[in-house]
């Protein structure tokens, strides 16, 4: 009977340690996704795009040209990962550009003429 409080305290300590490890692993995984070009949400609720990352700080760009230097810990969530840079051959880009130009021309509708008011 005297061991029951010790068992409960031991179980609580084990639970706290495993919870802490899970939280640290999740934070490390999220920190690995923070790279220039990634869209993130800060703890203050500001949505921004990462411009550069230093040791414990990140420079983010929010609305327009506003850039902020924030602690990495202030980044709560990565919304969109940084785009991966892929080299595309110039040959495949030319037909695609021509196709978008023809689509853009056909999508433009002529202006509607208003009837002239009689005097």
Question: Is residue 104 in some structural domain?
Answer: no
Question: Is residue 107 in some structural domain?
Answer: no
Tell me the pLDDT tens digit for each residue of 13-58.
999 999 999 988 988 888 777 888 889 999 999 999 999 988 888 9
Range of the domain at 47: 4-83
Q: How far is CA 22 from the centre of its chain?
A: 22
Question: Is residue 103 in some structural domain?
Answer: no
SS3 category, 104: helix
Q: What are phi and psi of 41, to 5 degrees?
A: -120, 130
Higher pLDDT, 106 or 48: 48
- pTM score: 0.52
Question: Is residue 111 in some structural domain?
Answer: no
Tokens 């509607």 locate to: 112
Number of domains in the chain: 1
Tell me the pLDDT tens digit for each residue of 54-102.
888 899 998 888 899 998 888 888 887 766 665 555 554 445 545 455 5
The CATH number that applies at residue 24 is 2.30.30.100
Question: Is residue 39 in some structural domain?
Answer: yes
SS3 category, 43: coil
């Amino acid at each position: 009977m005297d061991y029951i409080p010790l068992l409960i305290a031991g179980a609580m300590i084990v639970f706290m340690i495993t919870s802490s490890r899970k939280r640290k692993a999740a934070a490390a995984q999220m920190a690995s996704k923070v790279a220039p070009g990634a869209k993130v949400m800060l703890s203050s609720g500001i949505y921004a795009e990462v411009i550069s990352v230093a040791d414990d700080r990140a420079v983010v760009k929010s609305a327009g040209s506003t850039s902020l230097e924030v602690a990495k810990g202030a980044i709560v969530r990565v919304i969109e990962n940084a785009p991966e840079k892929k080299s595309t051959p110039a040959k495949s880009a030319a037909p695609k550009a021509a196709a978008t130009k023809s689509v853009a021309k056909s999508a433009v509708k002529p202006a509607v003429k208003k009837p002239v008011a009689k005097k």
